[in-house]
Structure 1
Amino acid sequence: MTTDGCHLYNVKQYSLLKTGMGVRSYVTSEPFTVGGCCWKIYFYPHGNSKNTRYVSVYLGLEDKNKTLKASFELTLLDQSGKGVHHVMGVYNKPFTITGRSWGYKRFMTKQRLESSDYLKDDSLSFCCNVWVQSCIGKFTIIPPPSQIEKDFKNLLDSETGSDIVFRVKDDTFKAHKVILAARSPVFKAQFYGLVGNPALDELELVDIEPSVFKAMILFIYSDKLPDSYESMGSKSHMIQHLLVAADRFGLDRLKQLCEVKLSEELNVDVLATTLSLAHDHHCSKLKASCMDFAVANLRAVVQTEGFKYVEKSCPLLLSELLQKMAL
């Protein structure tokens, strides 16, 4: 009996990945299930070998102790609508897979990829078809999916066992010091450091909006960005404030996620404020994206009020931008 399935993986911000990652560095798809097994697609923007002319793509079996007969086909989709897809189907006959990844070191040259219709709006789309024929060996019990995110979110919402109250302007938030300390070095030092106060049960915060603090606390408990940004007027505005909060409390992963989101949301109206923010908070990849966007849209950017503000308040940043334009 054969079980089959298909997974679509969109690789966004290809140019950002290309500038920010090295050889043998990769990004992965969300895990997906076929034949009772967990799989991921691995994408290497600079390849998985010494030959960096190619991108590499692999299918990985995430169940390390499982052995099975399977086959797969990786397809890079043509996004022009012509239907000229790039199909790699060497592994199109069932073979034995045991907890590792299989794929293509030389999936396609970067030069060909970057000049083709496979790359559109700085994104790629992969389709992976998997056919699982059978499992080999003893019956394997599949554990239920992790509930840790849900459990921690419920703990925050129910306020069970909370031992710290934050007062942020007119709002209050209850939380758990040990969880905050585990996620943030700033909170850890404040509660349990050499000059910290473990008995502290109330803290007032200034220079942060309640909606931003709420989004930050939700990330600490769930490791996810908020679903809604309405309270701050615009998505970019909210993410900008959230990046500042992440930098303030030492939440490096949140800060990097905000960088990615702001890169995706770049437009003429927010370019200047985002560039200034990236400069002030040492976000090198976001700053590079802003510089590239500014050079590509120079005529519109220089007419915005934000650019005029940068021109007056940050001559060093303006000088960097002018050098970029000259190059």
Structure 2
Amino acid sequence: MSSSSSVGNIAPNDGSSSPPASAIVAQAMSGSHVVKIDGYSRTKGLGNGKYIKSETFTIGCHPWCMRYYPDGCVTEDADWISIYLHYSTAPTNAGEVKAEFKISLLDHDRQPVALYSRCSQGFGYQSKFQDFPCSQLRTFSTKDTGWGFGQFIKRKDLEESPYLRDDVFSIRCDVTVSKEIFTEPIPQHVVVPPSNMHHHLGQLLLAGEAADVTFEVGEETFAAHRCILAARSPVFKAELLGPMKEKTATRVLIDDMEARVFKALLHFIYTDSLPAMDEGGAAEIAQHLLVAADRYDMERLKLICEGKLCDHICKSTVATTLALAEQHGCGALKKACFKFLMSPGNLKVVMESDGYEHLRSSCPSVLDELVAKLAP
């Protein structure tokens, strides 16, 4: 919000310069926290009014936690799952904290499900558990306990939905904490738009203009530019600009990679981002791209793929994912797989799968590590 100033010399504005301006700034800090309920069926029967508390997380310099009531918070919510946001300690800044929140059920790509996303815009902390419409403006005070939704989702609806898979579902809480409001002058600077180099390079790849090398991958061909590939990958640099045979070749055969994976690799090289992927095949593409990133020494792409795979660990994929992590030196992914397998229920199912046999034959040492971690 800005306003023209009338202080100082008054002169006609001929359009040659902008008038002085000021801004009223209402600061806010936002963040999110995801709670994964792994073993939902074993949480049922905890009892009405009883909850399981999440780890404490910090947003806006304030400590928060979430409470999950599998059998509802109060008697009238007995058929529902209740979710509440709590302030972990009593607020100390003048006795109150102003904030807003939204709680959402997540799908398997960790995106909010619109039907089960509920918000309380301008909410506060008070002593009773209530649901609040978005129009209410309240604050957290030192005497308050928690806010949220007693009737977040019916247990029956969750159990019949696609969002509960392998006895696992996730919820996310988005919190925005209001800070101090102040005024400040608006500096008159030239507005520089954000970089769009990646768009130009992406168009260059699509058009194939001035391409000087063609890759044959399966039955498909891809035109590219040696200098761009060499700038992004030391392996491509050695292959295309170094003394290797591909230096003078105009066509290069890639015989150990799928065409769709190489296409995604080129997209990342030119745009520094992953292409749009089908929801069902995102994890599989991430596995293949991780192998390609390791092969061409592209660390950022490798870390992006590692992070995506950490979010897609389940009973049907954990064995092959763990083998992949061990073979390509992905420490964070390996740790996430170990954590998943530390659950006896998960481990039993995985040991009966074909993926486990592949893991045992290809990476026997990693099973020794797992056994050592499981030992009392």
Q: For the superposition of Structure 1 and Structure 2, which TM-score range results when normalised by the shorter chain?
A: 0.5 to 0.7
* Alignment partner of 1:84 out of 83, 86, 90: 86
Shift of 1:222: 1.1
Shift of 1:196: 5.9
Q: Distance in 2 between matches of 1:173 and 1:76?
A: 51
Q: Which amino acid aligns with 1:10?
A: S
Say which SS state the counterpart of residue 342 (structure 2) adopts.
helix
Determine the structure 1 residue equivalent to 2:185.
Answer: 135
Determine the structure 2 residue equivalent to 1:186.
Answer: 235
Equivalence map 1:137-216=2 (5 Å): 138-195=187-244, 197-216=246-265
Q: Distance in 2 between matches of 1:322 and 1:122?
A: 31
Say which SS state the counterpart of residue 165 (structure 1) adopts.
strand
CA contact (8 A) 2:226 2:241 kept: no
5+ long unaligned stretches in structure 1: 15-53, 58-72, 93-116
CA contact (8 A) 1:212 1:242 kept: yes
CA contact (8 A) 1:76 1:127 kept: no
Determine the structure 2 residue equivalent to 1:280.
Answer: 327
Equivalence map 1:25-104=2 (5 Å): 78-80=65-67, 81-85=83-87
CA contact (8 A) 1:77 1:124 kept: no
TM-score with structure 2 length normalisation? 0.57
Determine the structure 2 residue equivalent to 1:260.
Answer: 307
Say which SS state the counterpart of residue 84 (structure 1) adopts.
strand
Matched, 1:309 2:367: no
Distance 1:189 1:140, change over 3 A: same
CA contact (8 A) 1:240 1:258 kept: yes
Distance 1:175 1:76, change over 3 A: farther
Determine the structure 1 residue equivalent to 2:141.
Answer: none
Q: Distance in 1 between matches of 2:291 and 2:93?
A: 46
Say which SS state the counterpart of residue 234 (structure 1) adopts.
helix
CA displacement 1:201-236 (0-9 Å, x = unmatched): 211101100000001110111111222146xx6322
Say which SS state the counterpart of residue 184 (structure 2) adopts.
strand
CA displacement 1:117-166 (0-9 Å, x = unmatched): 9xx95977452546562236x52222112111111111111112111111
Distance 1:78 1:318, change over 3 A: closer
Determine the structure 2 residue equivalent to 1:10.
Answer: 32
Q: Distance in 2 between matches of 1:6 and 1:307?
A: 48
CA contact (8 A) 1:273 1:306 kept: yes
Determine the structure 1 residue equivalent to 2:118.
Answer: none
Determine the structure 2 residue equivalent to 1:244.
Answer: 291
CA displacement 1:11-70 (0-9 Å, x = unmatched): 6799xxxxxxxxxxxxxxxxxxxxxxxxxxxxxxxxxxxxxxx9887xxxxxxxxxxxxx
CA contact (8 A) 2:323 2:362 kept: no
Q: Distance in 2 between matches of 1:157 and 1:311?
A: 43
Distance 1:140 1:321, change over 3 A: same
TM-score with structure 1 length normalisation? 0.65
Q: Which amino acid aligns with 1:190?
A: E
| Identical positions, percent | 33
Q: Distance in 1 between matches of 2:302 and 2:226?
A: 21
Q: State the aligned residue count.
A: 245
Say which SS state the counterpart of residue 250 (structure 1) adopts.
coil
Distance 1:160 1:312, change over 3 A: closer
* Cα root mean square deviation, aligned: 3.4
Distance 1:7 1:279, change over 3 A: same
Single out whichever of 236-245 and 122-131 deviates more from structure 2: 122-131
Say which SS state the counterpart of residue 223 (structure 2) adopts.
strand
5+ long unaligned stretches in structure 2: 3-23, 37-55, 68-82, 98-146, 148-168
Q: Distance in 2 between matches of 1:264 and 1:300?
A: 19
CA contact (8 A) 1:229 1:238 kept: no
Where is the helix percentage greater, Structure 1 or Structure 2?
1
Distance 1:254 1:89, change over 3 A: farther
Q: Which amino acid aligns with 1:82?
A: Y
Q: Distance in 2 between matches of 1:88 and 1:151?
A: 51
Distance 1:13 1:141, change over 3 A: farther
Q: Which amino acid aligns with 1:304?
A: S
CA contact (8 A) 2:217 2:258 kept: yes
